[in-house]
Amino acid sequence: MKNALSVDVEDYFQVSAFAPHIPREQWNTLPCRVERNVDLILDLFDESRSKATFFTLGWIAERYPQVVRRIVDNGHELASHGYGHERASDLTPAAFREDITRAKRILEDLGGVAVRGYRAPSFSIDHRNWWAVAELEEAGYVYSSSIYPVRHDHYGMPDAPRFPHRPNGERGILEVPPTTLPLFGRNLPAAGGGWFRLLPYEMSRWMLKRVNARDGAPCMFYFHPWEVDPEQPRPSGVSMKARFRHYVNLQRTAGRLRRLLNDFEWDRVDRVFLGEP
């Protein structure tokens, strides 16, 4: 069974947990590592002949257009992560509309391909900002991967469906949630991110295999370029909790990804869930 592999293309200083410590107006002054990290990821994917979807920030694309072109030229899907990594739950409908349309326009102009997928920063769509689903449809997106059916202190909608569904009816946008596994009365995150770095690799592999076998469904996995970069700069003033979540096992991520790429068959989101050739 083919599973969907995805990368959220953002840099270390843009993560939501660092927002109180790294003002947005300082982003242009900080050393950017995303180009180097995406190149490393593209090489990893080439080794295993895996294809993926890259949910890319418009802010990154404007400054590193060569990153966008390499993604497309290597046969991967280009998708949107919004423009400036602002949580959808922090924006008004008008500001959200501007963010998602601006990012889509930039990515399509640079990549020369249609951008049909979107992922909200920090999976920040839930009951509180349900209007965002209609805004994505109006902006021309075909699918989203923005609603994570887990309980988390920063995001999550634990009562949301675990598998692809159309929140606004049969003709609406397709929501493709990150993979979870029901265990001990709650949905455990099995889709990557910090849990992939924290848990033993065998646990992550077991959860993904269980979803494939028991549910007969493909998985949606994700990670970030900064997660393969243990030598990234480390801002000061970050809380112990945020520091642990961000830096735990960064030095092991590339090796774990190699195992993951060889243990499963991976492809782009549009091919796995939209049936694209």
Contact in structure between 148 and 192 (CB atoms under 8 Å): no
Three-class secondary structure of residue 30 per DSSP: coil
Residue 236 has pLDDT above 90, yes or no: no
Q: Tell me which DSSP letter residue 233 carries.
A: -
* DSSP output for 154-169: S---TTS-SS-B-TT-
Query: What is the radius of gyration, based on Cα positions, of the chain?
Result: 17
Nearest-5° angle of CA 19, CA 23, CA 24? 90
Q: What is the pLDDT of residue 78?
A: 98
Q: What is the pLDDT of residue 199?
A: 94
Q: What is the pLDDT of residue 171?
A: 83
Q: What is the pLDDT of residue 151?
A: 83
pLDDT tens across 18-66, in order?
Answer: 998 899 999 999 999 999 999 999 999 999 999 999 999 999 999 999 9
Q: What is the pLDDT of residue 225?
A: 98
Mean pLDDT, range 163-184, rounded to an integer: 94
Q: Which CATH superfamily is domain 2-273 in?
A: Glycoside hydrolase/deacetylase (3.20.20.370)
Q: What is the pLDDT of residue 277?
A: 78
- The neighbouring-strand residues paired with 267 are 4
Please count the other Cβ atoms lying within 10 Å of the Cβ belonging to residue 174. Answer: 18
Q: What is the pLDDT of residue 154?
A: 72
Q: What are phi and psi of 104, to 5 degrees?
A: -60, -45
Q: What is the pLDDT of residue 184?
A: 86
pLDDT tens across 187-230, in order?
Answer: 999 999 999 999 999 999 999 999 999 999 999 999 999 999 99
Please report which confidence band the pLDDT of residue 155 belongs to, taking 50, 70 and 90 as the band edges.
confident
Beta-carbon contacts of 241 under 8 Å, excluding residues fewer than 6 positions away, are none
Residue 7 has pLDDT above 90, yes or no: yes
Report how far residue 248's alpha carbon sits from residue 1's, in angstroms, rounded to the nearest whole number: 30
pLDDT tens across 244-262, in order?
Answer: 999 999 999 999 999 999 9
Q: What is the pLDDT of residue 210?
A: 98
